[in-house]
Amino acid sequence: MTTAINTLELLRKEAAKILNIEAVESNVGLGELGIDSLNVVELIVFCEQLYGSIDPEQLNITQYTTLEQLDAQLHEQQTA
């Protein structure tokens, strides 16, 4: 039996680490969390390690994108 990895939880932990804070909410926009364009690059590098082969060009990331939405987009790429 394989255990499903909670990618959203790992994404939340990485975002908090990037921002050097204790925790972040997964339903708040990246801009509101304080994630800027350089942080997004760091997050995408992490996502490539976490989700495997991804196409960053296909991601719709804005300041309003939440970690929940990003996680859903990445899972969609995995099944496409």
Q: Encode pLDDT of 30-48 as tens digits.
A: 999 999 999 999 999 999 9
The widest CA-to-CA distance across the chain, in whole angstroms, is 39
pLDDT above 60: residue 21: yes
CB atoms within 10 A of CB 79: 5
Amino acid in the structure at residue 69: Q
The pTM assigned to this predicted structure is 0.90
Average pLDDT over residues 22-29: 96
Is the sign of the CA dihedral 14, 56, 2, 79 positive or negative? positive
Amino acid in the structure at residue 23: A
The per-residue pLDDT for 41 is 95
Written out in words, the top-level CATH class of the domain with range 7-79 is mainly alpha
Please identify which residue in the block is written with the tokens 């990037």: 18
Q: Encode pLDDT of 51-79 as tens digits.
A: 988 999 999 999 999 999 999 999 999 88
